[in-house]
Amino acid sequence: MFTLSSIGRITTRYMQARARHRSERALLSLPIELRKDIGWPEILTDAENGPRIRRAP
């Protein structure tokens, strides 16, 4: 029983992370002007990890 609930939690977290990644990719593909219009946060480019979204403090 414990194993099934653990697998369910892991699967849920994985699905949420994938959905978030897909959303970020779609928003990153938009032109800068559109991202500013919709209020999307600034994008930082990190040479090691690629583009990432800067979180508001």
Helical segments of 1-57, H only: 2-28, 32-38
Q: What is the pLDDT of residue 9?
A: 92
- Contact yes or no for 53/41 (Cβ under 8 A): yes
Q: What is the pLDDT of residue 57?
A: 47
- Helices (H) and strands (E) counted in the chain, each on its own, are 2, 2
| 3-57 tens-digit pLDDT | 888 899 999 999 999 999 898 888 888 888 888 888 877 666 555 666 566 555 4
- The predicted model scores a pTM of 0.58
Scan for tokens 């990719």, then name that residue.
Answer: 25
